[in-house]
Amino acid sequence: MVVAQEKVIWQEPIEQKSGEKNLRPARKRKRYTKRKSILVLAFIVGVTGAIGAETIQLTVVQGAQVQSLEKEISSIKAQKDLLQMEADKLRAVGRIESAALAMGMVKPTGVVYVAGVAPAVENQKGAPPTQAATQPTEAKPTAVNQFLQKFTSFFASTQR
């Protein structure tokens, strides 16, 4: 079966054509939303820029503080080294001897006894005999000697 097609042309009444003027308020809304979105975007960019500027400023300030502290540390280390050298110079045996002689002290002659016990040196085969090996060993110290040794060692340790 064959059917013929109909062509229908609709004509719009003139009243409806005047409705096109109603499109302009819609454009105003678009302009308003464009302005609003531009303002929101500008606000976001401004807040982000302010946060970035504050972060950079804090970083620069703290970097300067770190550098000043590093300089202070290096100067303190240099002072420490100088003081250590001066302390070593003052602890030198030659300086102490000359200062003692300048104060009128004299070097002791003969045997000098020091409080405390010296470690015994074992004589090995083939080794030359030492002074400690050639001296006769003393008998066990008495109770008074032990007390005096502890007493003098206590005061010697407190003065260090």
* Tens-place pLDDT, residues 44-78: 999 999 999 999 999 999 999 999 999 999 999 99
Q: Which amino acid is at 119?
A: P
Q: Give the rounded distance of the alpha carbon of 91 from its chain centre.
A: 33
Is residue 15, in this structure, part of any structural domain at all? Answer: no
Confidence of residue 160 (pLDDT cuts 50, 70, 90): very low
Does residue 125 carry a pLDDT above 50?
Answer: yes
Query: Could you give the number of structural domains in the chain?
Result: 1
Considering the domain boundaries, does residue 106 fall inside one?
A: no
**Per-residue pLDDT, 122:** 60
Please check whether residue 51 lies inside any domain of the structure: yes
Greater model confidence, 158 or 112: 112
Asked whether the beta carbons of 130 and 121 are under 8 A apart, the reply is: yes
For 155, counting Cβ atoms within 10 Å of its Cβ (0-12 exposed, 13-18 middle, 19+ buried), the class is exposed
pTM: predicted TM-score of the whole model, two decimal places: 0.38
Helix (H) / strand (E) containing 43 = helix 23-91
Tell me which range, 18-32, 41-55, 113-127, is most confidently predicted by mean pLDDT. Answer: 41-55
Q: Could you give the percent of the chain with pLDDT greater than 90?
A: 36
Domain span at residue 87 reads: 26-91
Within a domain: residue 111? no
Tokens of 1: 């079966």
Calculate mean pLDDT across residues 128-133.
Answer: 51
What is the helix (H) or strand (E) element at residue 66, kind and residue range? helix 23-91
Residue 117 lies in a domain: no
List C-alpha distances in Å: 25 to 19, 21, 28, 31, 33: 12, 8, 5, 10, 12
Residues 48, 52, 55, 61, Cα dihedral to 10°: -140
The 8-class DSSP code of residue 19 comes to G
Judge whether residue 25 has pLDDT over 90: no
